[in-house]
Structure 1
Amino acid sequence: MRAMILAAGRGERMRPLTDHTPKPLLPVAGRPLIDWHLQRLADAGVSEVVINLAWLGEQIAEHVGDGSRWGLRVRYSREGDAALETGGGIARALPWLGNAPFLVVNGDVWCDYDPAPLLQPMDGLAHLVLVPNPAHNPEGDFGLVRGRVVTGGGERLTFSGIGVYAPALFDGHPGGAFRLAPLLREAAEQGRVSGTRHDGLWCDVGTPERLEALNARLSGSI
């Protein structure tokens, strides 16, 4: 299975940290955030990764290179000055992601989830990893009922930013910049999204305060 890391965002809420450093290169437990993703993908058995770039993206390309130090083949989807958001970024990279389902990881999360199970055959248009709701998202994003992701009912959980998508999820996409969430909600309403609950450590590294708290939690534990 191929994989993609979404790394094109500006990181407005992380300013001033992201004024000169793209968010995926911010240090977590002494390593750039994106290194954690690349290592976990390689350990899971992924061999090819696409990384989309926009804000300060060439810093990411310079740091990661061709991916060989992780045993990966890395390609870059350059979006120019304006990022195409989550859906548009994936849609632009579809020619490199192939005809089979592919794994996508948001570049601005940290999670101890092992993605290896996600490399197994998938039923439907998407499979999402969901986590207990953090303080900044108390209402959650989706419900989970007997392994199916729903938009209403069930236990409310938060989308981790880790998922597997079939290329058909993007059929008829609007083009340009657009968000992934509406496509996932539509597919969930059709009963075509499955899900896994992960109760381990997860953090949306969305603010300097969350980054500081994550580093404090990981200090001495890894």
Structure 2
Amino acid sequence: MKCMILAAGLGTRMRPLTDTTPKPLLKVGGIPLILWHIERLAHDGFTDIVINIAHLGYQIQEALGDGSEWGVNITYSDEQEEGALESAGGIVKALPLLGDEPFLVVNGDIWSDYDFQDHRKLADGILAHLVLVPNPEHNPDGDFALIDNKVVDAKAYTFSGIGYYSPKLFDGVPYGKSALAPLLRAAMKEGKVTGERYEGEWLDIGTPERLELLNAQLMNRY
């Protein structure tokens, strides 16, 4: 199974840190955030990784290269000319690199010890499988609910930014900027989204304060 790391965001909430450094290269525990993902993905059996880049994206390419240093093959979906295409738009542009089989997508600005599943299968007719987590303080109401392993459009848990998708979810989505949530909600109405609740470590690194908190936690641990 291939994986895509979403790394094209502007990181506006992270300013001034992201004025000169793309958010995925901000350091957590002494190494770039995106490298935590790559090392865990490699450990969990993923070898083909697609990374979309936009804001200061050339720095990500320079830092990671082709991925061979970590035993993976990295290809880049370059959005630097268009500007960030948002989640669905970025995936649509990268579809030729992702192929015809289901693939994993991971937000580049989260930190988690979730075990990625390189052999995850989507049941017949299912377009997505989402990983949900307990609501953090900054998202107390949540995003979606989970009923009998199906994800529904009600607020109970927070979407982790980790999901497995069928390319068919993006059928008919035109090239350009577009968000992922409307596609998922439409598929939920048809009962085509499954999910799981993950109770392990997870943090959305959306602000300098959360980055500082995670670094403090890791420092105390190691």
Equivalent runs, 1:1-222 vs 2, <5 Å:
1-81=1-81, 82-116=83-117, 119-123=119-123, 124-152=126-154, 156-222=156-222
Structure 2 stretches lacking a partner, 5+ long: none
State the alpha-carbon separation in 1 of the partners of residues 217 and 205 from structure 2.
13
| CA contact 2:143–2:154 (8 Å) conserved in 1 | no
SS of equivalent residue, structure 1 residue 133: coil
Deviations 1:98-157 (A, max 9, x none): 0000000000111110112x632112100011000011111101001121101137xx10
State the alpha-carbon separation in 1 of the partners of residues 15 and 120 from structure 2.
38
Deviations 1:142-197 (A, max 9, x none): 001121101137xx100000000000000111320001111111111111111111
Structure 1 residue ranges (4+ consecutive) displaced by more than 2 angstroms after TM superposition: none
State the alpha-carbon separation in 2 of the partners of residues 22 and 165 from structure 1.
26
| CA contact 2:66–2:73 (8 Å) conserved in 1 | yes
Q: How many residues align?
A: 219
> Pairwise CA RMSD of aligned residues?
1.1
State the alpha-carbon separation in 2 of the partners of residues 221 and 104 from structure 1.
28
State the alpha-carbon separation in 2 of the partners of residues 120 and 9 from structure 1.
27
Query: Per-residue deviation at 1:33?
Result: 0.2
SS of equivalent residue, structure 2 residue 183: helix
SS of equivalent residue, structure 1 residue 152: strand
- Tell me which amino acid in the other structure corresponds to 2:152: V
TM-score w.r.t. the length of structure 1 is 0.96
Which shows bigger deviation, 161-170 or 144-153? 144-153
State the alpha-carbon separation in 2 of the partners of residues 132 and 208 from structure 1.
21
State the alpha-carbon separation in 2 of the partners of residues 152 and 179 from structure 1.
18
Identity over aligned pairs, percent: 60
Query: Per-residue deviation at 1:47?
Result: 1.1
TM-score w.r.t. the length of structure 2 is 0.96
- Tell me which amino acid in the other structure corresponds to 2:188: A
State the alpha-carbon separation in 2 of the partners of residues 114 and 151 from structure 1.
25
Deviations 1:77-112 (A, max 9, x none): 001241100010000000010000000000011111
